[in-house]
A and B are shown apart, each in its own frame.
Chain A
Amino acid sequence: MNKKEKVLCVDDEIQILISLRALLRSKYEILIATSGEEALEILRKEPSIRVLISDQRMPKMLGAELLREAKKVAPGTMRLLLTGYSDLQSIIDSINEGEVFRFINKPWNNQEIRFIVDLAVNVAIETEQAAGSMADESLTHPTQEESFDLVQGQLDQQETAASTIATSDHQPSKEATRTAGIMVVDDDEGVASTLMEILNNTVPVYKAKTINEAIDLLSNQQISVIISETLVDSEDATEFIKILKQNYPSIITIILTQYHSADTMISLINQGQIYRYSYKPIQKNQLSYYIRSALTRHGTNLRKPELLKRHQVEEIKDVKNPSLVGKLIGGLKSLRSKMGF
């Protein structure tokens, strides 16, 4: 037997750690910590900890905080968060700062945890190298003062990257190599106008007031980032997001919503691996920052597509709108063909 991969479990409740260890030790080397501090220590010391499982509610350092720090200390480690307590802010922090991979509800299903941990470990191994460039990304996040030219430069890189990625016998159309734009899916104009103010015509902005429009736009345009509401034109947009991610994982999704639900957030991570989540209205600066990060990430992903694995999603549960799903898949297929994927 090879050396077991390392999984770090963090919880202030010993019993949880005992349970987790008992659950996982047969396959993995289980490291435990009862506080965030302890966990970071271990992360710093031990190389190649594949997965970090942390409880949210811990004294001194919350789970979300730990994930954020862990991302800096060990960017390659996949991050899982145990939630038994729907603290919305913690969840949002986990998404935005911690870039959590999966939320695991307490009480959990043992099989599910095994599955998720297995998946996470594999992804961690596969993306070990590429994960390093993510460190670059985190270091080169432009400050707010810097213009989007830098981003533009990166976008140009994306173009070249895109053209090299594309299969040789499939010439991407000129249009396909055009600068990818940002789609706003919202029946409220405000977001789009704010966005346009921020971008100042450096990046195209596409507006979709309904999901159908969104799908159409997707078919016709190159979209790198989607900013979406969860309820658009009285339709639940989360499904759309989830399906999108499943089939076209390179698109970076930012959720901008006035409807807050912990369950939605958790499912958007587990099944949609959204990039960022924010309440409406969002501060201009904040949005600008998110866009920049998103575009950069998109670029990084284009250069290192294996990183996309780190954002794979679960099967969609509770499909509410099958026709939509069908349409979407159909549309995406055509998109795929355009993109040459």
Chain B
Amino acid sequence: MTIHQVFATVCSLILLTLSGGMIAKSAEINEPIQPLKLRQDLNLEKVNLGRSLFNDKRLSRDNSISCASCHDINKGGVDQLPVSKGVGGALGTINTPTVLNSSLNFRQFWDGRAASLEEQIDGPIHLKHEMDSDWPTILTKLQQDQAYADLFKKLYKNGLQSENIKDTISEYERSLITLSRFDRYLLGQKDAIKENEIKGYELFKRYGCVACHQGVNIGGNMYQLFGVMGDYFKDRGNITTADLGHFNVSKDERDRHKFKVPSLRNVALTAPYFHDGSAKTLRDAVRIMAKYQLGRNMPEKDEELIIQFLQSLSGELPVQAKGEQ
């Protein structure tokens, strides 16, 4: 059987089933960007506990850095720095991605090395230039806090343990969903966004930005080469390990310079952009994307509209996530 033949048979089979599937799914919105759904199944006690820990500086070696130091939910879930400062003022190696809506990403980190939110926590905890700590140290510190001990004892059978800390922080992170005006628009509220923003969305689709920045998280569900239509890194120069992207994980040549496509939600709040934090403004980011990813010259007019659209993607935290702050 040749590839073509296989392909043909399979396609026909698929069509048959899909026709039925299509009818079933006709009710769904057939947009490349899907609206957010707030989760109803979160354990609020864990969320609250997770919040405390997220903001607890004892997770760092010298008790100077907490998760919130770099992932400030009042600053779009980032610190709005090109790279973050860790313990002792150590500079990070890569731009901090937002914690907001991070639970919708198919993997964590730019190179996708963490498969889950829980796994991601191990990263900053142990990295020397980030929190420079380890679980035994953290546990020792936290065990002296009777409040934590009691809370953990209440929520988890084995009380204060590292996997439970991770679990509770993750639960908190899962609550950080930002419903935007655009989501409301997608959900049917046609006046939720302005006309320009709608136009911007159309352009976003027509130019093909949506090819990668799609799905419920407007990105975050695939890897893509940074520099499809041109060699971004050659042009930029100073290639670091961080620039190798997913290659660092898979060691596959095909994955060199491939990064997890970041979510564009709250993108207006999370400057500077790209993994290297090189684009200071949205305009810069849009331009570089158009050039290197789309191979297109985008007129300013279009840029403007797209930027407006992008700004409509910023959202609000739900009450449950905000807690008693």
The answer to whether A and B touch directly, with their CB atoms under 8 angstroms apart, is no
Which B residues lie at the A interface, using CB under 8 A? none
Which A residues lie at the B interface, using CB under 8 A? none
